Amino acid sequence: MDDDLTALEITVNGKRRSATVDRRELLIEALRNRFGVTGPKIGCLTGDCGACTVRLDGLITKSCLRIAVAEDGAEIETLESMSTNGLTGLQESFWDNNAFQCGYCLSGMLFAAEDLLDHNPTPDEDEIRQAISGNLCRCTGYDAIVTAIKRYAERVAESDRRQ
Amino acid sequence: MIPTRFEYVAPRTAADVVAALDGESRLLAGGTWVVPEMGRAESRPRRVVDLRRAGLATISVEGSRLRLGAMCTYSDLLSSEDVTRHAPLLRTMASGVTGGSALRNQATIGGSVAAARPQSDVPATLVALRADAVVAGPAGSRRVPTAELFLGAGRTTLAVDEVITGFDLPSERMSGHGYVKLKRGGSSWPIVTAAALLRLDDDGRCETAHLVLGGVEAVPMTVDLTIMLGRPLGDQELDVAAARTVAALSAPWTDVLAPGDYRAAVAAPAARRALAMARANVGVTEGERHGRRPDCP
Amino acid sequence: MEVGLRTAGKSVGRPVRKHDGDAYLTANATYTGDIVLPGTVYAALVRAPLAHALIRSVSTAAAEGATGVIAVVTGEDMIPWCDEIPHGLDAGHLGGHHSAVFPLAVEKVVYAGEPIAAVVATSEADAHAACLMVEVDYEPLPVLLDVESALAADAPILYPAWAENVLIEGHVGNDDFAEVARTAPHVLEGELRTHRGTAAPMEPRTYLADWDAGRQHLTLYASTQNPHVLRTVLAAAMRLREDQIHVVAPKVGGSFGLKMYGSREDFIAPVLARMVGRPVSWVEERAASLLPAAREQVLSYRVAFDDDGGLLALDVEALTDHGAAAPTHGWAMAYVGALSTGLGYAIEHCHVHYRVVVTNKAPWSGTKPFGKDGATLLLERIMERVAAATGVDAGTVRRRNFVAPSAFPYRHTSGLELDSGDYAAALDQTLEILSHERLRADQARLRAQGRYLGIGLGFELMPESADIPGGFVAAYDTSTVRMSPSGRVSVLTGVTSPGTGSDTGICQLVADELGVALDTVSVVQGDTDTCPYGFGNISSRSLVTGGNAAVLAARDVADKIRAAARALLRADYDEPVLIEDGIARLTRDPSRSVSVVEAARAVYTRSYELELDVEPHLESTRTYRPSNIREVPDALGRMQTYTTYPYAVHASVVEVDVETGVVTLLRHVATHDCGTVVNPLMVDGQVTGGVVMGLGAAFSEELVFDDDGIPLTTGFKTYLLPRAVDVPRVELGHLCTPAPGTPLGAKGVGEAGFAGALAAAFNAVNDAVAPLGARLDRTPLSPIAIMRALREARR
Ligand SMILES: Cc1cc2nc3c(=O)[nH]c(=O)nc-3n(C[C@H](O)[C@H](O)[C@H](O)COP(=O)(O)OP(=O)(O)OC[C@H]3O[C@@H](n4cnc5c(N)ncnc54)[C@H](O)[C@@H]3O)c2cc1C
Ligand code: FES
Ligand code: FES
């Protein structure tokens, strides 16, 4: 059994960490089981739900589609890192607009939304719907998520205009 | 979670990749197809050969040819000015791939071609673009027109110890392109895709015409449009092309999302729309093209 | 039990955000899968690759020798550790047949994917790897995959002891259609077929069971809707006392019925944990979590009506493709469908004969909205057909048939008694939001251009907060309200919230009753050791039952605060005291006041000194039991088993591409009435979520099997859930007719949206293709089905 174990060194939420992982482990499993993060969830293991989304070397990715050992040296950010200085404006907007019910999709939705706003700070409703369509939510029917992203973007644009 | 055991290697060169391949190995590109397959134990390789460190993700233009590394992701296509200029069809195709940007950041064109799923976007698109696959093997490198690469659903002419290192395709700067995809919603893989490329001469007559459909047969289906050459492209010509599409169909593909009779029934409208879109796109500058939603005719 | 009606307080009625939202946002909300216990081992299941077969032998030797394997357990091995699973509602006690189901199949498999053995190993990967090594010798049996073949005279019998393939059948209403039809101006017949779908919450069923051999005690963390009842049935089957089991339901990642107690999956981890003596984690794989099903009925109907479209009589023959027998309440969806058929329409003669047929598919399992979807779709389809036949506008036909507000209480032929509502007003509002007339004009214009717009209506009326006599589904529930000496308030309740927000609603209710700030109140749910026994989250009951109970309990606590305040203020024992903003003041002299905290402390610490005439603690446990349930059957055997009757009128606008069958959803409107709204944010969230789920069922979600009964929809690339791009923003309208039977006036909202959306979408697509002579009489409305209908019309 031991020959399946191997060392993995990655940066998780800004901290360089190492752990022993089974070569068969997916990145999502290693993150949850070996590095103690719980923000990303497992919903399908086929890349379809987006619950496992994390940011890897700056790009968002579905961590169930990656083999952990292949990511040696990577820098990974999970939901845990998002609120190190208190909730972000986007997070507050999700909360205010009831953009999560069971919360299982939340981490993935937040990453998808952040990624969208990084590329397009003033998205329209269609663009928001496109951007979160790699993620499934079974509870909200999506409207609240779209509203949360839209209102946040509008608020940011508004305050940029004022400055 | 992957149940079966494997060894993991990440060679630094294409040659080392080839050296690592044998009947019990599996190439790993973006992993979006192969990792879940291993999770379901449908694939149980002894060795996983990761392509990521082999330097195959470059995009370049040489003369009038566009070179794409096999490890280019959909996002790479979307952010490349070379692609936008020389193969805007690829851009349009990539923008409609589902799974969100997380998926597009990860899934590669080489992986899509090698997986040879009848429903995938990439294979028929590359065939329409008359791309050659550059394939490395123990005896060196060979070029294969992508049209000749596909043997059937999930089957290609690649040997177990071969790897696609990239694609090489002619610039389509002067063409108008159309891409139409029919599916069953945001969760659905493509049911039928139609990729069209048209070039018109100064008198508005058809100089070149390429139409390839995906999802209608087990492999990309090329529709011969020779009869359209030299003719102005009126609605009638599009009808002729649609009729030829139907005639070209022999064994429609069936899967859980749609039976063959449905694919056969919608192939012609998909083809016609792709051509209509290509016709409308001829001479449209890149800037104008960007402002449009190409997937809604 | 009158508590008095209220619509808005400091926080009740307001769009208060989730009381514990920050925990979710910071990854501090703990789900079952986030809990780690030292020494945990992992279970995986060997599942049947055939839909019907005898298990000749199971060879476990190779798996037992595999790396990391601790135990390989077959169905037979498990029998000494776990009895037959107790039924939620045993058809055998109700004139149907009993079925014996164990956690793992014994002797025979009756659906593909049925678990037949389990492996426990030190890692999940090793457990799954060893499953691949378990060799099973099957003897294939003929498979039954639809109701028609299962009912055929020469059909093989799935459960030989029954001598038939009907689990249970029954009649609801008065069977006098023929008599009425004889003199009726019009009679129509038809058939409607619905397809198989499933709940598909994002979190699969997840369990972590910890057996303490020394204490002979089981702790189970489970993604369950009903922790207390789960404990009851676990104890029964595992031959333990209930006090030997502690069930905790941490945060649940959505449930929609799938996580209702008592499925065989509930027993896997607990029994294995006891067998191996270590904590066992078991997470259902996605493919398996898409096995439990709902819908797939054949509804044959005859309807008699007059020239104005008034319905005179309705007769329905409802065949349910249940799949294999199961211990869950799944089959009751067929009964509830029958009970609610025609509900909301004043049809004097309404009869449903339902038959629940067993086939070789994974069984029905309770799924939102619990069988009422089929009934809704049927009636809404009928309304359209009656409209077409009489030439009366479809909205007008509905208006003619609606139970009028003046008719309440109105007893439906099934026995359910409607208490309130204004269905026509909801229809009016929906049509207004829609700009219906303008839309019809657009439709006509576009048709002339060869574009096919469709507009469809759907009226849903959801009986909610069910009670099953003798069963663990109750219209009542229990909450404890406890205030600490520092004025912090905890509500411990028997209801749970899989994200729906009823817990936030309960906080609001209690905060208002106690006149304290919202953030001083917290809710504890889902723990059998700390919360009062309760029935959890089902049937849109949590706020109505747990919330009303919390209100009653909070009032008891508030009374003591008032008593203490009077004592502290040296006021007379009958001096009225108003509590607001954390201050208790004399109503007649508001300048005299004490803080709630001071009063609370006084109750705990100064009982003798102040000569307090109350028991010196601030805690009350109350059960809210609605007064409108009647379970002594009337002369016709009818009962009134639901507490509230929320409803909605939906409208869908679609465009059908008649060359490809692809549907674009342009708009969806729903005017909803759930009585008093405690929290509009949560209510809108429930309705919108339900609408999108209903649209998914209408268009894309379908469980598909091959000819051998092997499921082909094993993930989200084939079981197509709606995504954000597939649906338009849901436009909501609101009405409020408070439920007279309940103190708050609130009606259930947890199942809202689904059925009306399904029906409206169905009618919209039919409306779009009608000019081409096409008609769809089955779901789903896939492009494939639409193209087929169009092709048939052209013939
Ligand atoms: C959520 C989701 C959404 C998707 N949506 C779409 C969509 O809209 N349209 C669509 O067409 N597809 C879609 N796909 C499929 C996806 O695009 C393909 O799976 C992807 O392009 C494959 O690339 P990859 O790099 O991930 O391949 P991998 O999974 O790494 O590999 C796929 C196969 O190709 C082999 N291989 C990989 N690279 C090479 C190479 N260079 N030479 C030889 N063999 C190689 C591998 O061994 C494997 O057999 C989706 C997938 C997911 C998970
Ligand atoms: S778990 Fe990774 S996408 Fe669903
Ligand atoms: S909130 Fe439950 S899945 Fe999105």
Please give the single-letter amino acid code of residue C289.
Answer: S
Bridge partners for C455 per DSSP: C653
Class of CATH domain B7-50: alpha beta
- d(CA C446, CA C431) in angstroms, rounded, equals 20
CB distance from C215 to chain A under 8 Å? no
The torsion angles phi and psi of C632, rounded to 5 degrees, stand at -85, 110
> Token pair for residue C161?
């002891």
Shortest Cα–Cα distance, C650 to chain A (Å): 15
C-alpha to C-alpha distances, C39 to A24, C271, C279, nearest whole angstrom: 20, 17, 7
Average pLDDT over residues C229-251: 98
pLDDT, tens only, C322-357: 999 999 999 999 999 999 999 999 999 999 999 999
Taken as a whole, chain C contains a residue count of: 795
> Token pair for residue B80?
């490349």
C-alpha to C-alpha distances, C517 to B3, B285, C214, C497, C595, nearest whole angstrom: 52, 61, 45, 22, 12
- d(CA C481, CA C264) in angstroms, rounded, equals 34
CB contact under 8 A, B35 and A62: no
CA atoms within 13 A on the CB side of B291: 4
**CATH for A74:** 3.10.20.30
pLDDT, tens only, B207-258: 999 999 999 999 999 999 999 999 999 999 999 999 999 999 999 999 999 9
Q: For residues C334 and C108, is the Cβ–Cβ distance under 8 A? A: no
- d(CA C539, CA C256) in angstroms, rounded, equals 10
CB distance from A90 to chain B under 8 Å? no
- d(CA B67, CA B167) in angstroms, rounded, equals 6
CB contacts < 8 Å between A and C, how many?
Answer: 167
* pLDDT at B297 > cutoff 90: no
> Token pair for residue C325?
């027998």
Query: Sorting pLDDT into bands at 50, 70 and 90, what band is B285?
Result: low
What was the pLDDT predicted at B291? 47
* pLDDT at B283 > cutoff 80: no
- Give the E-state strand segments of C273-398 in sequence order: 280-283, 294-295, 297-305, 311-321, 349-357
Bridge partners for B156 per DSSP: B150
Same domain, yes or no: A32 and A57: yes
Q: Give the distance (Å) from ligand 1 centre to CA of residue B205.
A: 38
CA B100-B102-B108 angle, to 5 degrees, is 95
Which one-letter DSSP state was computed for residue C174? Answer: -
CB contacts < 8 Å between A and B, how many?
Answer: 92
Dihedral sign for Cα atoms in the order A16, A21, A46, A106: negative
**3-state DSSP assignment of residue C475:** coil
Q: Give the distance (Å) from ligand 3 centre to CA of residue C366.
A: 19
CB contact under 8 A, A135 and B3: no
On chain C, the residues whose CB falls within 8 A of the CB of A143 are 688, 729-730
Q: Please work out whether the CB of residue A138 comes within 6 Å of at least one atom of ligand 3.
A: yes
What was the pLDDT predicted at B284? 66
Please report where in the chains the tokens 């800004």 appear, as a residue.
Answer: A14
Query: Sorting pLDDT into bands at 50, 70 and 90, what band is C1?
Result: very low
What was the pLDDT predicted at B80? 98
CB contact under 8 A, B182 and C721: no
Q: For residues B101 and A115, is the Cβ–Cβ distance under 8 A? A: yes
pLDDT, tens only, C367-378: 999 999 999 999
Q: Please work out whether the CB of residue B32 comes within 6 Å of at least one atom of ligand 1.
A: yes
* pLDDT at B286 > cutoff 80: no
Range C153-192 burial, b when 16+ CB lie within 10 A, else e: eebeebbeebebbbbbbbebbbeebeebbeebeebeeeeb
| Residue C39 falls in which region: left (phi positive, over 0), alpha (psi -120 to 50) or beta | left
- d(CA C620, CA C442) in angstroms, rounded, equals 60
CATH (residue range C32-141+201-289): 3.90.1170.50
CA C521-C523-C526 angle, to 5 degrees, is 175
Same topology, domains C32-141+201-289 and C478-520+537-624? Answer is no
Which one-letter DSSP state was computed for residue C292? Answer: S
- Give the E-state strand segments of chain B in sequence order: 7-9, 25-28, 47-50, 59-62, 65-69, 132-137, 140-145, 150-152, 155-156, 163-170, 176-183, 190-200, 206-214, 221-223
- d(CA C68, CA C125) in angstroms, rounded, equals 9
Q: For residues C619 and C721, is the Cβ–Cβ distance under 8 A? A: no
Bridge partners for C490 per DSSP: C482, C522
Assign 3-class secondary structure to C363-380: CECCCCCCCHHHHHHHHH
Candidates A46, A69, A134; nearest CB to B102? A134
Nearest to B181 by CA among B249, B103, B284, B97: B97
Average pLDDT over residues C253-257: 96
Strands B7-9 and B47-50, bridge-based pairing: parallel
- d(CA C124, CA C165) in angstroms, rounded, equals 38
Peptide linkage before C409 cis (omega within 30 of 0): yes
What does the domain layout of chain B look like in residue ranges?
7-50, 59-170, 176-282
Candidates B4, B187, B259; nearest CB to C720? B187
- Total Cβ atoms within 10 A of residue B85: 15
Strands C294-295 and C196-197, bridge-based pairing: antiparallel
> Token pair for residue C545?
């039952």
CB distance from C707 to chain B under 8 Å? no
Q: C611 burial class (0-12, 13-18, 19+ CB within 10 angstroms)?
A: exposed
Candidates B3, B186, B191; nearest CB to C132? B3
Shortest Cα–Cα distance, B270 to chain A (Å): 22
**3-state DSSP assignment of residue B121:** helix
pLDDT, tens only, C633-676: 998 889 999 999 999 999 999 999 999 999 999 999 999 999 99
pLDDT, tens only, C699-726: 999 999 999 999 999 999 999 999 999 9
Residue of A nearest to B99 (CA): A134
CA atoms within 13 A on the CB side of C320: 33
Q: For residues C447 and C455, is the Cβ–Cβ distance under 8 A? A: no
Mean pLDDT (10-residue bins), chain A, 163 residues: 81 97 97 97 98 98 98 98 95 98 98 98 98 98 98 96 89
The mean pLDDT value of chain B amounts to: 94
- State the angle between helix axes of C680-699 and A143-162 in degrees (0 to 180), rounded to the nearest 10: 120
Ligand nearest to the Cα of B99, by number: 1
Ligand nearest to the Cα of A106, by number: 3
Class of CATH domain C478-520+537-624: alpha beta
Please give the single-letter amino acid code of residue A73.
Answer: G
Q: Which one of A105, A110, A135, A143 would you pick to mutate in the ligand 3 pocket, going by the greatest count of ligand atoms within 8 A of its CB?
A: A105
CATH (residue range C297-360+368-467+633-794): 3.30.365.10
Same domain, yes or no: A43 and A94: no
Rg of chain C over Cα atoms, rounded to whole angstroms, equals 28
The mean pLDDT value of chain C amounts to: 96
Residue A131, C-beta contacts closer than 8 angstroms, at least 6 positions apart: A112, A113, A115, A116, A123, B100, B101
Same domain, yes or no: A77 and A124: no
Q: For residues C191 and C299, is the Cβ–Cβ distance under 8 A? A: yes
> Can you tell me which atom of ligand 1 is nearest the CA of B27?
47
> Token pair for residue A11?
């940066």
Please give the single-letter amino acid code of residue B180.
Answer: V
pLDDT, tens only, C55-94: 999 999 999 999 999 999 999 999 999 999 999 999 999 9
Ligand nearest to the Cα of B104, by number: 1
CB contact under 8 A, C700 and B182: no
What does the domain layout of chain C look like in residue ranges?
32-141+201-289, 297-360+368-467+633-794, 478-520+537-624
pLDDT, tens only, C479-530: 999 999 999 999 999 999 888 889 999 999 999 999 999 999 999 999 999 9
- d(CA C510, CA C530) in angstroms, rounded, equals 19
Q: What percent of chain B lies above the pLDDT cut of 70? A: 95
Q: Which residues of B touch A (CB under 8 A)?
A: 1-8, 10, 28, 30-32, 35-36, 39, 48, 50, 52, 75, 98-103, 105-106, 186-187
What was the pLDDT predicted at C3? 36
Nearest to B29 by CA among B52, B48, B47: B52
What was the pLDDT predicted at C540? 85
**CATH for A134:** 1.10.150.120
- d(CA C33, CA C35) in angstroms, rounded, equals 6
Q: Model ipTM? A: 0.98
Task: Give the pTM.
Answer: 0.97
Structural domains of chain A, count:
2
Range A30-41 burial, b when 16+ CB lie within 10 A, else e: bbbbbbebbbbb
- Give the E-state strand segments of A4-157 in sequence order: 5-12, 15-22, 53-56, 59-62, 75-77
Class of CATH domain B59-170: alpha beta
What was the pLDDT predicted at C7? 40
C-alpha to C-alpha distances, B230 to B195, B199, B276, C364, nearest whole angstrom: 20, 11, 17, 62
- d(CA C645, CA B36) in angstroms, rounded, equals 45
pLDDT, tens only, C391-449: 999 999 999 999 999 999 999 999 999 999 999 999 999 999 999 999 999 999 999 99
Q: Which one of B26, B42, B53, B97 would you pick to mutate in the ligand 1 pocket, going by the greatest count of ligand atoms within 8 A of its CB?
A: B97
B290 vs B164, residue with greater confidence: B164
Same domain, yes or no: A71 and A99: no
Which range of residues forms the domain containing residue A74? 5-81
pLDDT, tens only, C723-737: 999 999 999 999 999
- CATH number of this structure's domain B176-282, picked from the four choices 3.40.605.10, 3.60.9.10, 2.60.40.10, 3.30.390.50: 3.30.390.50
Q: Tell me which of A81, A112, A144 is where a domain ends.
A: A81
Residue of C nearest to B39 (CA): C125
